[in-house]
Structure 1
């Protein structure tokens, strides 16, 4: 009787082990071959540059892209010209998805625009409960241009060192977007999202942010299941 119970327990652990490690691989293969908007957001470029440590926020602190999911933008010297775009971004993306602890918004602006950026954040406080995920960082115009060029984007900054477009970076500072065939089977490429367009934010960007956040949630759940299984096996061995 004891042998049967032991044999059953061993087989049960094997089954759990197979489900734990094989199922995620099968799931990945299924979704990686699926069309866009299935599970993963394509990578457009890898291991981009970190925000320089000399670039400071309004609070005089540094901002790090590594280990964060980041919406990165360049607001330019005429910050108030972009206030409507920033408000759209705050309302349609930030307020909708804020709460994921590693999700942040980083807006790069020229030195000398600190007062304008602070005023915009003060206005956001009227419609957002928590702005801890919003960061403005400041640098010289030359450094901003050089940093923007490092992403090798198809678009360019205007004469104020700004653009209405923002990009998505993952925790490894990989640039994520759309590449390949869409749901209709049409070829598409999207490297940035236009904050001037409510439809662009509400549809494409909202969907893509949802995908990348879901991707990391699935990874967290998978790691959690692995930890639980390891702890369970360890506990059983220690008891025996």
Structure 2
């Protein structure tokens, strides 16, 4: 399904009031507020993390990082800094990392943030989730309510191990959010014009 079912409508809100990343991180310049954020929890198993990260980077990040408001946020366990440094350096050889944020958090804070997404998924013992999540400018988790591949139809996250899911679902759904932003901005401009006439 290359043309998402929501192509010209709004992408459903699945969770309100997601915890802002700045609440659990000392890197105060990183926030979900007023951003379109793709968020992933990569855990301490570097081999698994790297495959997911590189898929997300190649298929999604490289397409959207020039867009306004876009950012990608990877939540990583504290004490994995040196291992991740190698992975991030490898990534930087072929990617502009200016919109990637790598945030190290302790287990408690990582779990707090993950729980605030209110998904049916769990972090594994390494702090890894195989899903990437869309958090909008108002700190709301976005996804699908009638996904044909999901029991009950609700799609809370996008499997980073599946190239087809990233290509056909995550990209479609990010496009919808940008389409909505464009429409909202146009409506706002019209309103201002009408007011000034």
Q: Aligning the two structures, in what range does the TM-score lie when normalised by the shorter sequence?
A: 0.7 to 0.9
Mark the CA change 1:204 to 1:163 in structure 2 (over 3 Å): closer, same or farther.
Answer: same
Deviations 1:178-220 (A, max 9, x none): 00376xxx96221100000101111111111111121112222
Unaligned runs of 5+ in 2: none
Alignment counterpart, residue 66 of structure 2, candidates 99, 110, 127: 99
TM-aligned CA deviation for residue 53 of structure 1: 4.1
Unaligned runs of 5+ in 1: 1-34, 234-240
2 CA distance for matches of 1:137 and 1:177?
A: 23
1 CA distance for matches of 2:56 and 2:75?
A: 15
TM-aligned CA deviation for residue 61 of structure 1: 4.9
1 CA distance for matches of 2:82 and 2:187?
A: 44
> Which of 1 and 2 has higher RCO (CA within 8 Å, sep 6+)?
2
Deviations 1:78-134 (A, max 9, x none): 234211111110111011122112011111111112223332222222222x22110
Computed over aligned residues only, the root mean square deviation of the Cα atoms, in angstroms, reads 2.1
Matched ranges for 1:25-64 at <5 A? 36-53=6-23, 55-56=25-26, 61-64=28-31
Q: Is the 8 A contact 2:16 2:140 kept in 1?
A: yes
Larger Rg: 1
Deviations 1:59-92 (A, max 9, x none): x554100111111111112234211111110111
Q: Match for residue 118 of structure 1? A: 85
Alignment counterpart, residue 171 of structure 2, candidates 196, 201, 206: 206
The two structures have a TM-score, normalised by structure 1, of 0.73
Indicate the SS of the match to 2:38: strand
The two structures have a TM-score, normalised by structure 2, of 0.87
Indicate the SS of the match to 2:109: helix
